Amino acid sequence: MGNTYRIEKDFLGEKQIPEDAYYGVQTQRGKDNFYITGTPMSAEPYFVKALGYVKKAAALANRDLGCLDGKIANAIIGACDRLIAGELREQFVTDFIQGGAGTSVNMNANEVIANVALESLGHKKGDYHIINPNDHVNFGQSTNDVYPTAFRLALIMRLASYMEALRKLQGSFFSKGKEFERVLKMGRTHLQDAVPMSLGQEFHGWGTTIGEEVERINEVRQLLREINLGATAIGTMVTAAPGYPELATKYLSELTDIHFLLGGDLVEATSDTGAYVLLSGVLKRTSTKLTKICNDIRLLSSGPRCGYNEINLPQMQPGSSIMPGKVNPVIPEVVNQTSFLVIGFDLTVTLAASAGQLQLNVMEPVITYALFKSIFSMENAVNTLRTHCIDGITANAEHTRNMVLNSLGIITVLKPSLGYKQCAEIARECHETGKSLHDVVVKERKLLTQEHWDEVFSFDNLISPKFEK
């Protein structure tokens, strides 16, 4: 049985590399050095794909500029196409969180692409004197422009899927808003009876607020289109050929069908992480809104016999190991927990962004982990909320209507005709005696006729009261 390893070396020494691995010695060092989250870069397919796009754009530009031999460049381009197609993802083995500002990730891509290119030309893995990860695949590049460019591209692609999940959730809320548009219920402020509304209005409002988040995310996505490709180490374009930044950016735009913009100040663009902070803030804002909505859903479904009991949630699983028949609102609960996770990650992003020093922020890997984890988790949570909860909600219409008519809160609609003081006196009498508003207003004090009462307390007037002088 032959040797299952090959030997590769760098200026630090030799390393054994699994013979079937397309990564090389520098990737192996990164894998050995950084076992932090237990989550390899392969877990985020969009980032691997994005690295393929960036390296392909770089190779095309360097070929056109005469910096790479055409045969070598085409082999590199072919290897990049395999990454873009979703192949070789398992070869990206370094941990998400790592020292070195992402150098291990960049070298992981360089080595995989180099070895795939070598094989395509009939050479063995590790024959770096023919195609070298640093001298050829990484020509005119640095981790400090490759990593953030690929990161931004991956975020743009990942956010597209997340936005679609939010749009579908918005659609479900709107659909329930239509279904429940004639369900009368009591609106509440301070958890106390306020004024009537329809259950449909409540669900429609949730849909509107989620729709606002799609707009905010789209705005941040536009900011992510500004990149520093060609800036190399600190923004001075050292080792990059004249015209390379512009040409590589042009190719990246054409390959991805995303209009990327080369930063006007590449020194600033290399060190600035403000766009990530803004994106994280938007993700936190959405999480905050979802937490509020899920808390409302839990309240409205509480009971069923000793709570609000206005809506029924799909019964997903038994709710207790000791209390028979109990069913809990497990889906809103899990969405809340996911929201709290994202809110915590926002602090991580904020601290990491503020930790940049001089010409580089070396904390970008943890920003990468936090943002990808946030988006991935929230997308799953949003889809779960829609399919396992919202779409299956039913209303207890008779119960909610009876609560409205038995509430003292509805006296507010009489304030224009009876005045605040008299309405307050009537409400107090009803509260102390247990009498109904109808009995006091119509039968005892004869302040309104039955016909007028029926008009004022009709469904349409209760949810959209007519103004009376």
Compute the radius of gyration of the chain from its Cα atoms: 31
Contacts of 262 (CB under 8 A, 6+ apart): 226, 227, 228, 229, 230, 245, 246, 249
Q: Answer for the pair 349, 369: CB distance below 8 angstroms, yes or no.
A: no
- Reply yes or no on whether 120 is catalytic: no
Which helix (H) or strand (E) segment is 9 a member of? Answer: strand 5-10
Phi, psi for 256 (deg, rounded to 5): -100, -10
| 3-state SS assignment for residue 411 | helix
- Residue 142: closest CA among 111, 114, 112, 101: 101
Q: Is 8 helix (H, G, I), strand (E, B) or coil?
A: strand
Interhelix angle 274-300/330-354, nearest 10 degrees = 160
Enumerate residues 6+ apart whose C-beta is below 8 A from 431: 408
Return the bridge partners of 189, or none.
192
Distance CA 81, CA 52 (A): 7
Contacts for 304 with CB less than 8 Å, ≥ 6 apart: 312
**463 neighbors 196 (Cβ within 8 angstroms):** yes
- Sequence-ordered list of residues with C-beta below 8 angstroms from that of 452, at least 6 positions apart, any chain: none
CA 214, distance to chain mean position in Å, is 10
Q: Which residue in the list 42, 172, 198, 320 is annotated as catalytic?
A: 320
CA–CA distances in Å: residue 356 to residues 108, 139, 270:
24, 26, 11
Lookup result for tokens 């605040």? 420
Enzyme catalytic residues = 320
